[in-house]
Structure 1
Amino acid sequence: MPPSSPRRVLVSGAGIAGSALAYWLGRHGFDVTVVEKTASAPAHGRGHVVTLGEAGREVAERMGLLPALRAAHVGQRLTTRLDATGEVRETVRPVGGELRVRRGDLLAALRAALEGSAEILAGDSVATLDDDGEAVHVAFDSGDFRTYDLVIGAEGPHSNTRRLVFGPERPFHHYSGQVFAGFSLPNDFGLAHETVEWEAPGRRARLTAYGPGEPAHACLTLTREDPPYTVFGDPWAQRELVRGYFPEQVWHLPRLMRAMWRADDLHVDVVGEIRIRAWSHERFALVGDAAWGGSLLAGEGAGKALAGAYVLAEELGPGGAHEGAFARYEERLRAGAEKLPPPRG
């Protein structure tokens, strides 16, 4: 291994991309630290359902995760679509074959695989980054100060690392004209392995439930010309915004509005896509939604995150100059990572 090869890596973000990247970097012999601003992992099994896709499934298989993920698979037998009056418009039975798991179950499997192979700094985040040309000096919000060879941002579409290295988010975030709100609520609707969607011009409310005794999950989307950035720092303003778009007293909309007001896991965000000219700069790189993120509504982010993490670690693995590894990683991912190379060793 050349002496100049970077071996100490900080991964900022312990989501799907960050956890997978830390795992594969550890397999390649790197000394990996993962910093995650939340103090603990999300509750097991909670969260929206993600689809792995071909490349994501292959990475999961190479990590030995498929048995756990198959056991956590959530099937959906029926989708019912309603019109604005609450009347049934159509019913659809989805075609099977995709591996679909809750995001919380995927994260639990990833973190179990990662255990013992990386240092985890939970409840902390990066405050400043200083690249002196030889290494990156990192100050954390906790007051800790450390030095790394490389720093990888994997914090999602609102990446802190991207902000610190590349500048504010807005030039990179391309708003699609929609806002969404997601939250869980008690399944008092008699739903099992099914989704019901209510739709009116510019608005949609989706209610999904899987196994018996589990919470239901609501996802509300609305069309809005201007992104409501001013409400994102205020949870109550977010609720007021969304409630104003769903005043109808039809179907379960009144119950959904009440549940949203009480929900402790409400997530409101804009639908859009991250577009950035380069995913790396000097000793920094981005992976997952921090680099190419789209809305979680697209349902493809998990598989792309797994594939991107694998490819980045694969390119860094042989050692040598990180600049070349970053360039090869980006070239492969921008061309599509549907076909992964054979694992090394």
Structure 2
Amino acid sequence: MLTTSRGISLVLSIAIAALTVAFLLLLDDATPALLLVAGGISFSVAYILMQVTLEFLIFKEISNIYSVLEKIQKKDYSSIPDKNESLLSISPLRKINKTINTYAQAKNKEIETLQKNAEFRREFIADISHELKTPIFAAQGYIHTLLDGAVDDKSVRLKFLKRAAKSLNALDKLVQDLLTLNQMESGVIKFHFETFDLKEIIHEVIEELEHKAAKRDMLIRFYYDKEKSYLTFADKDKIFRVCQNLISNAIKYNNDGGEVEVHLKAQKNHITVEVKDNGKGIPPEDLKRIFERFYRVEKSRSREKGGTGLGLAIVKHILEGHKSKISVSSTVGKGSIFSFELPLEK
């Protein structure tokens, strides 16, 4: 009984009432009725105050602390109350409760981060194993076929050597892209900023990719205002790679005979680049993941069209290094628009 708030309140209230009555007995004019009323009032007031104090300011907080500690012991961080809830309490144990809640919330976030990292590592290892296996097995197949006797046939030998070389080139590009991405994330690669004309960079990219577009009867249209300046301060080589990747993807995932539009817009303080295609588009559930390593909307078609699956991840990191970001909007069946911004030099 004495371990509950009611039990403690009852004992302390009786003690206070007894002390009050004993004190009044010392008075000569104390009547039994006065003693009874004084004892009852002191008991009632003391019981209510004790009950409220113990129940809401001490026992409730202690119960919350034990509850949180039990959840921490069981490693169940999902249902731990928010640390801000304790700010509404006036209990002297509030600081302890707040500290424990803060610790529990931090542990919860730490565990969630570790779980996400573990899942990411599993997916990454599976993806990179598959990506490396494809060109390696292809090159192995051609070379072993040659070693088994096909090397004596000159036409077969040349054809298989070219295919093996193509597979090894794809493997080399994959490794180089992985190294580039890793160096960007770790800060090893430095950005070399300079002032240049963004319009000229896009022209160079289009000239480089026109042959690729022509093979599929595709047009690349470049829209810009000849009266405006498009000078920007950025890393010229890396922005070239961003434009190259976005326009190349617009060609790669467009329909035969389609169009790729590149829009260059100079605003008050920045330049906006938009790359638009009229291909199949990207489903909404894939939009949030297309900038992840090796993520492909259509895995089989993507591999047939080439590429390492790292291009958009590299684009994202390059633009983040310029304090910018890549944006995308897409409608299934109508196409996609990728855009980014760079500062305008005046």
Normalised TM-score (structure 2): 0.20
Point out the structure with max Rg over C-alpha: 2
Higher relative contact order (CA 8 A, sep 6+): 1
Richer in strand (by share): 1
Normalised TM-score (structure 1): 0.20
